[in-house]
Amino acid sequence: MLQEIPTIQITDVKHYVNQTVRIGVWLRQKRGSGKIAFLQLRDGTAFFQGVVVKSDVSEETFEIAKSLKQETSMYVTGEIHEDTRSDFGYEMAISGIEIVGESHDYPITPKEHGVDFLMDHRHLYLRHLKPFATLKIRNELIRATYEFFNKEGFTKLDSPILTGSAPEGTTELFETDYFGESAYLSQTGQLYAEAGAMAFGKVFTFGPTFRAEKSKTRRHLTEFWMIEPEMAFTTQEESLEVQERYISYLIESVLKNNEQELDILGRDKEVLRSYTQLPYPRLSYDDAIQLLQDNGFDVEWGVDFGSPEETFLAEHFSKPVFIVNFPKEIKAFYMKRHPTRDDVVISADLLAPEGYGEIIGGSERDTDYEYLKTRIEEQGLDLAEYQWYLDLRQYGTVPHSGFGLGLERMITFVTGEEHIREAIPFPRMISRIRP
């Protein structure tokens, strides 16, 4: 009896050397002569080459191979061989082609296209090497996040996307009508995570967050995904230790599981590995201002850092660096007062090296009902919206700390991508809501 030909995926071809298999693929590119056709194929798991030799196949199969268009989908059948000349290491000697879906005039050709063109065709551009590699790494960072926090005893708690509160400032809100009332797309899940920490001890939220950022920079999206851990009975210093362990764990996971993708993107793996060395330096905001001034920056105590300052500070240490204890006036209402100074709060931003900027913002949370009430009023927020949050300080308040990691910022840092728009399948920015 004839053995049935197995249908497999490209990543599995190493287990089928010298065997005949069938794979569902798309054609990326094609080259060849009158006697041979080289087909660059992909199936979503990997990229490899199939070779059609005229003298080895039927006339019809060779004609089909020659007429294939970019992005045609098909099943290819053939024997798997080792191929020491390619990075992938294997290729297929194709003996049969069954077309599944034809393709004509595919718009993204091997020639160079501008950024706007590629973003307008993002629904198709996802199929190409760089987005593939970047978004595979995104997937790994999400997987490793769940793994890390599960190992550390956290409970995943989902926070709502439609909210009545705007704890990170009221200027960057997307407002919507909620049955006659105003509601906002969530800027942060933190306040809900704090409620969760009082119920589950250690929680993390992970979801889309929204900021109507008018700034057109390579680090800002209007819709980005944030991971927000929150821990009861935890001081800021303990939280910083979780943060650096988490970042190091994420980088190690990508180094272990995404070698192919890092190579596609040309990311230096040894440089990345150096960022897994702990601890990360801690530099006070005061010292950071001093250091910047000593190096010719025109900054005064009290300002928030811009991109050049952040780049300088992290480059100075050649690794991620925590800037701790920011001025109270430039930070959110919930941050804990410093025990001996009235002008700073117990907060920290983690700055990534190589110009990737702030990847984490976090703080210890103040636990005092009256103080928080005053801060909410001072910041011009609607006290009624925060009554439930203040309840957390009325019924067994405890020291607690937490932080938020911007997933897309972390992706650009790990992948070495220049612009944050590459780090999310369908980016939302001030001038882009389609596709």
Closest CA to 84 of 49, 53, 56: 49
Amino acid 127 reads R
Q: Rank residues 358 and 417 by Cβ distance to ligand 4AD and give the closer one.
A: 358
Amino acid 185 reads L
Q: Rank residues 71 and 408 by Cβ distance to ligand 4AD and give the closer one.
A: 408
For the beta carbon of residue 374, count every other beta carbon within 10 angstroms.
Answer: 12
Distance CA 93, CA 85 (A): 15
C-beta of 190: minimal distance to ligand 4AD in Å?
A: 4
Amino acid 432 reads R
Q: Which residues pair with 284 in a beta bridge?
A: 324
Q: Rank residues 355 and 402 by Cβ distance to ligand 4AD and give the closer one.
A: 402
Rounded to 5°, the CA angle 284-346-156 comes to 120
Structure tokens at 245: 């362990």
C-beta of 19: minimal distance to ligand 4AD in Å?
A: 47
Q: Rank residues 223 and 343 by Cβ distance to ligand 4AD and give the closer one.
A: 223
Q: Rank residues 27 and 411 by Cβ distance to ligand 4AD and give the closer one.
A: 411
Rounded to 5°, the CA angle 377-383-385 comes to 140
Closest CA to 163 of 386, 415, 410, 11: 386
Find the helix or strand (DSSP H, E) in which 37 lies.
strand 36-42
C-beta of 299: minimal distance to ligand 4AD in Å?
A: 19
C-beta of 9: minimal distance to ligand 4AD in Å?
A: 33
Amino acid 128 reads H
C-beta of 428: minimal distance to ligand 4AD in Å?
A: 10
Q: Rank residues 221 and 323 by Cβ distance to ligand 4AD and give the closer one.
A: 221
SS3 content of the chain, % helix, strand, coil (to 5): 35, 30, 35
C-alpha separations of 65 from 56, 105, 208, 278 in Å: 13, 17, 44, 53
Task: Kindly give the pairing relationship between strand 90-101 and strand 47-53.
Answer: parallel
Task: Kindly give the pairing relationship between strand 73-82 and strand 47-53.
Answer: unpaired
C-beta of 293: minimal distance to ligand 4AD in Å?
A: 24
Distance CA 117, CA 424 (A): 17
Q: Rank residues 68 and 411 by Cβ distance to ligand 4AD and give the closer one.
A: 411
Contact (CB, 8 A) for 213 and 431: no
Distance CA 332, CA 190 (A): 11
Q: Rank residues 79 and 213 by Cβ distance to ligand 4AD and give the closer one.
A: 213
Contact (CB, 8 A) for 186 and 159: yes
Amino acid 348 reads A
C-beta of 144: minimal distance to ligand 4AD in Å?
A: 17
Contact (CB, 8 A) for 135 and 415: no
Q: Rank residues 77 and 186 by Cβ distance to ligand 4AD and give the closer one.
A: 186
C-beta of 423: minimal distance to ligand 4AD in Å?
A: 9
C-beta of 254: minimal distance to ligand 4AD in Å?
A: 17
CB neighbour list of residue 393: distance below 8 Å, 6 or more residues apart? 367, 368, 369, 372
Amino acid 225 reads W
C-beta of 158: minimal distance to ligand 4AD in Å?
A: 15
Q: Rank residues 311 and 363 by Cβ distance to ligand 4AD and give the closer one.
A: 363
Interface contacts to ligand 4AD, rule CB under 6 A: 168, 188, 190, 211, 213, 220-221, 224, 226, 228, 358-363, 402-404, 406, 408-409
Q: Rank residues 51 and 410 by Cβ distance to ligand 4AD and give the closer one.
A: 410
C-beta of 200: minimal distance to ligand 4AD in Å?
A: 16
